[in-house]
Structure 1
Amino acid sequence: MPEAEKPNQYCFQLGQLSVDNAEEGKKKRTFSGVAYSGEPITDHWYWDRIIFDLDSMQLKGRIPALLEHRSSQRAGAINTHSINHQTGLTVSGDLMSNEFGAQVAQDSDDGFPWQMSVRIEPTAIEEIQAGASVSVNGKVHQGPITVFRGGRIREVSFCALGADDNTNAVAASHTPKNFNQPEDTDVTELEQAQAKLKQAETDRDAAQAELKKFKADKREEDIKALETSLNKQFSAEEKTSYTNMDDGSFAFMSQQLKQFSAG
């Protein structure tokens, strides 16, 4: 792969942006959107199938908003963001009053569906092989899949769908929330398996407790029967000792006491 293409392997076209309508008295136009929903990205030209860990994702300070990932075409900046498993990474910011910010605003007013693309650089990359699984963003995903941990968002860009000069950077589809992939059901299946295991453990504990009570009641009856057979009353200490004996020891002790009593 040519060296010039390598930086673009960290660019991902992910979601749609909305540019707020112009308001009288409001100098700056604003924009917002879901930069990343937390779902796997499929068919990426470099990574194939990849997911970003939201819990370790990093956004520091005001993030630049560019046109087509070109640093010379500065269109605005991200002011606020939020990250959670339900909505993913959402951002909002201001457009600049320069030609690039004005272009984004004007095209949006004319109905153009701007797409959001992000440049994310991970601090760690995990390669999950086929047959293995990994938990990311509250779900279990089956391999093969690549996981970006500690991903730092360097910039976001306004991109035209399919019109990026580097077509490889936009050759990825973002799996929507309701896409029927096996990993979408894995958490449900895992939760069901965990619930069944917990129920089995509860049933086992209940059965063991019931068996323990049965043995205790049986030993109490056997001690009373032994008292009747020997025509004596055992002390509390003797009863405790007999109760704590295993079945074999108690049977042997009972036999010995009966023999001594008969002799």
Structure 2
Amino acid sequence: MKTKLFSSLTTVLFTIVANAQITTFPWTETFEDSSPTRAGWTQVYEVNNMSWTYSTTASTGSSGVTAYDGTKFANYPGTSHNFDKTKLVSPALNLTGVTNPTVSFFYINPYWNPDQNWLRVFFRISATDPWVQIAEFHSNITTWTSSGSMAIPPNTYQIAVECETDYGYSTLVDGLVVTGTNLSVSDAVKTSKSTIKYFPNPAEDVLNYESKEKVYEISVYNNVGQKVLDHKVESNQGKINVSSLVSGTYLVRTKTDSGINSFKMIKK
């Protein structure tokens, strides 16, 4: 009975951790055993079933290399020639109140002459939206090297680091950071109190809005963070013509006296 109870509690706790959102930025993932967010990372096996591991040593190559920070790093073994491809997927991100978000990390990707693995970075804006690639690294890197800051959309839900093997040595990732410019605390509170209604959703030609306070600006972003519509208004209610947009998911950001309100719109 105790064993069953312990197992049930463990499952519940793991589910809570795995589904928890990251809400404080900058957020750094160290991949250490002590990391409070490491358990929230998941894996998507695109080709075959090679898993990322959290290790103190590389599975192949990189002899003597230690973690960039701490003792452990994310390690893609690279022990086959079968073009294995796996995404290491972050916990859910809630970037409300963050502007100009970016992701960066340190990596090692040595070739096993002449073979070289591919390391790619993706984001998606919901659990069901497609992954969008933002970067690819395919060169011989033998010491910890920064990926550089890569811009991600303000409505990013998750990021993923993907490795595809071509029999190169193990690919390593450490010190991943998601950051941006935070709004002030007062702005964040105001944003949470915004009372704007949007309808219908999904929208086909027109998206209506109603607010208890005056709306000044409405911007619409696509799933790669590009602003596709921008309206200057001064009213409590009105409509936006969205007929020119292609079908898909968009982020609507509305500016009022109380701050910025975000809304996910589906265009038919």
Query: TM-score under structure 1 normalisation?
Result: 0.22
Higher relative strand content: 2
Using CA pairs under 8 Å that are at least 6 residues apart, name the structure with larger relative contact order, 1 or 2.
1
Query: TM-score under structure 2 normalisation?
Result: 0.22
Higher relative helix content: 1
